[in-house]
Amino acid sequence: MSTTLATPTRPRRQAGALAEDVVRRFGDRTVLDGLDLAIADEELVVLLGPSGCGKSTLLRLLAGLDRPDGGRVEVPARRAVVFQADRMLPWQRVLRNVTLGLRGPDADRRAREALAEVGLSGREGAWPKELSGGEAQRVALARALVSEPELVLLDEPFAALDAITRLRMHDLVRALRVRHHAAMLLVTHDVDEAIALADRIVVMRDGRIGNEHLVELPAADREASGAREELRAALLHDLGLVHQS
Ligand SMILES: Nc1ncnc2c1ncn2[C@@H]1O[C@H](COP(=O)(O)OP(=O)(O)OP(=O)(O)O)[C@@H](O)[C@H]1O
């Protein structure tokens, strides 16, 4: 008997996230004013912009923690958010903080694996207050990734860390990207962090995305190169931090 195989329908490649003509007002202040942003699968987009321009507002909309007054937001159901403060439950040990919200008999195993991935094997039984700032943010990353999200939203996750620890966290993010295939949106004030990590840097201006920069520099050139310096100067200009003569 012959069998006719149905043509497999390829899953539609869904964008990592989409914001279309998004408006968000607080009182009479329009913070997001017709903003468009599409993040591709597995793309790491860094969002830069002056303080108060609406970066966290956009991130909260994409996280589903807030709703727009106009426009459309499309995000995958499996998404995770990492904030500047780790937001662990202080009365739960590290392992329980990672298994929070996980279901199934393998929750513990998955949480242990996630902690190993961020370099925290052996710290499962620690209390949150026993962790350094860098370790706490590692837990936050483990907690975000343990559910295998398709979209990870990071709101200044390393801002409170010292410079050396922040560089280690950048290495960790790069390593995690290789293993997890999530789209990421990272909000930061740190132009060097943006250049170190981004596939694309977008700069917010007047409630929308203003300039965008694709970052196609190989890893070594992100540390030191003429192209890096040019990009850095362009970003400082976009942010109004230097004036071109
Ligand atoms: N829930 C809210 N109620 C009223 N105003 C708000 C609310 N959330 C944000 N805003 C206002 O919206 C503007 C944008 O805030 P948002 O936190 O998004 O800026 P940001 O770009 O993330 O700033 P920063 O870089 O300083 O973190 C600010 O003026 C803020 O006061």
* Ligand 1, atom 25, residue with closest C-alpha: 51
Q: Is 67 touching ligand 1 by the criterion CB < 6 Å?
A: no
Q: Is 137 touching ligand 1 by the criterion CB < 6 Å?
A: no
Q: Is 61 touching ligand 1 by the criterion CB < 6 Å?
A: no
pLDDT along the chain (245 residues), means of 10: 46 72 97 97 95 96 96 94 89 95 90 93 95 93 92 94 90 88 94 95 96 92 90 93 64
Half-sphere exposure (CA, 13 Å, Cβ side) for 241?
A: 15
**How many CB atoms neighbour CB 104 within 10 A?**
9
DSSP characters over 138-189: HHHHHHHHTT--SEEEEESTTTTS-HHHHHHHHHHHHHHHHHS--EEEEE-S
Measured from the CA of 27, which atom of ligand 1 is nearest?
4
Global pTM? 0.90
Q: Is the dihedral of CA 27, 29, 35, 41 positive or negative?
A: negative
Q: Could you identify the residue written with the tokens 């499996």?
A: 78
- Domain chopping of the chain, boundaries: 17-78+150-238, 88-147
Residue 8: the pLDDT is 46
- Ligand 1 centre and the CA of 57: distance in Å? 6
Q: Is 24 touching ligand 1 by the criterion CB < 6 Å?
A: no
Residue 245: the pLDDT is 45
Residue 178: the pLDDT is 84
Q: Is 65 touching ligand 1 by the criterion CB < 6 Å?
A: no
Residue 2: the pLDDT is 44
Instruction: Report the alpha-carbon distance of residue 240 to residue 205 in Å, rounded.
Output: 10
Q: Which CATH number fits domain 88-147: 1.10.645.10, 1.20.1580.10, 3.30.470.30, 3.30.10.20?
A: 1.20.1580.10
Instruction: Report the alpha-carbon distance of residue 62 to residue 66 in Å, rounded.
Output: 8
Q: Is the dihedral of CA 138, 143, 149, 151 positive or negative?
A: negative
Residue 87: the pLDDT is 83
* Ligand 1, atom 28, residue with closest C-alpha: 52
**Do 17-78+150-238 and 88-147 come out as alike in CATH topology?**
no
The fold adopted by the segment(s) 17-78+150-238 is: Rossmann fold (3.40.50)
pLDDT digits (tens, 9 = 90+) for 169-179: 998 899 888 88
* Ligand 1, atom 31, residue with closest C-alpha: 52
List 70's β-bridge partners, or say none.
23
